[in-house]
Amino acid sequence: MAGGRGSRMKLPIEKPMLEINGKRLIEYVLDVLAGASHVDRIYIAASSNGPDTLKWLEDCSLDIHVINTPGSGYVSDMVTAVEGAGIKGPVIMVMADLPLITSGMIDEIILRYNEVPQPALSVYSLLSICRKKGLRPDTVFNKDGQLIVPSGINILDADNIRKEQEDFNYILDNHRLAVNVNTMEDLEICSRLMKDDGY
């Protein structure tokens, strides 16, 4: 998903085009998805909110399919993208601002989804992990006494994309999943963590 304005960054450059260590945010995510064993095809939901992102995607050498969406909100764009792509069965949604995730994490999430009876799966980080790394998430939920933060990765049944789907809450204790770049502070923290992790 790469169709938002990224207005919270308050920068003239579109958020997916922001660079860390000479590599764009969206490039990190695309490389991870391309390297995941259980991802068959990659579709990018983009919109006129990000003309530079659209142009970059057109010139991208990876085997991806770009779906133009209205840019009117996450849910609306997601439905448009899934239906426009003609996807059937499970589809994993990944935000374009998660530069620290890995192919192994994506495969782990997909394998976990295959084990649960629910038609959908939502991935969360522990709030304690976010705070430990200096992150201040906007949204926090209480799940059985644990404070958790949505990660920006979800799996849904594409056949019922317009319906509310019961989801399994998959909580991962991994700081790489917690870094969702929404603000300049997040970007600075992400850059520091990359150095700490040897990027």
pLDDT, residue 18, reads 87
For residue 1, tell me if it sits in a domain: no
| Bridge partners for 122 per DSSP | 154, 169
Residues 6+ apart with CB under 8 A from 74: 1, 4
User: What is the rounded CA–CA span in Å between residue 48 and residue 55?
Assistant: 10
Mean pLDDT along residues 17-21:
86
State which residues form the domain around 19: 7-196
Residue 198 has pLDDT above 70, yes or no: no
pLDDT band (50, 70, 90) for residue 191: confident
Type of residue numbered 197: D
Distance CA 6, CA 28 (A): 17
**Exposure string (b/e) for 14-24, b if CB count within 10 Å is 16 or more?**
bbbbbebeeeb
CATH number for the domain that contains residue 88: 3.90.550.10
Q: How confident is the model at residue 199 (pLDDT cuts 50, 70, 90)?
A: low
Q: Which of 73-82, 88-97, 118-127, 150-159 has the lowest mean pLDDT?
A: 73-82
Among residues 122, 100, 136, 117, which one has the least CA distance to residue 169?
Answer: 122
Element (DSSP H or E) covering residue 191: helix 184-196
d(CA 60, CA 79): 24
Percent of the chain with pLDDT over 70: 93
Number of Cβ within a 10 Å radius of residue 81 = 26
Instruction: Give the chain's length.
Output: 199
Identify residue 82 by its one-letter amino acid code.
V
In this predicted structure, the answer to whether residue 52 has a pLDDT above a threshold of 80 is yes
- State the pLDDT at residue 58: 83
Handedness of CA 8, 94, 195, 20 (dihedral sign): negative
Q: Is residue 2 a part of any domain in this protein?
A: no
- Is 59 a residue whose pLDDT tops 70? yes
pLDDT in tens, 129-157: 989 988 888 889 998 889 999 999 999 99
pLDDT of residue 169: 95
Work out the burial of residue 8: count CB atoms within 10 Å of its CB; fewer than 13 is exposed, 13-18 middle, 19 or more buried: middle
- In angstroms, the CA 176 to CA 26 distance is 15
d(CA 133, CA 126): 11
Check residue 54 and give its pLDDT. Answer: 83
Instruction: Report pTM.
Output: 0.89
Q: Are 27 and 57 in contact (CB under 8 A)?
A: no
Domain total in the chain: 1
pLDDT confidence tier of residue 106, bands split at 50, 70 and 90 = very high
Q: Chain-wide mean pLDDT for the chain?
A: 87
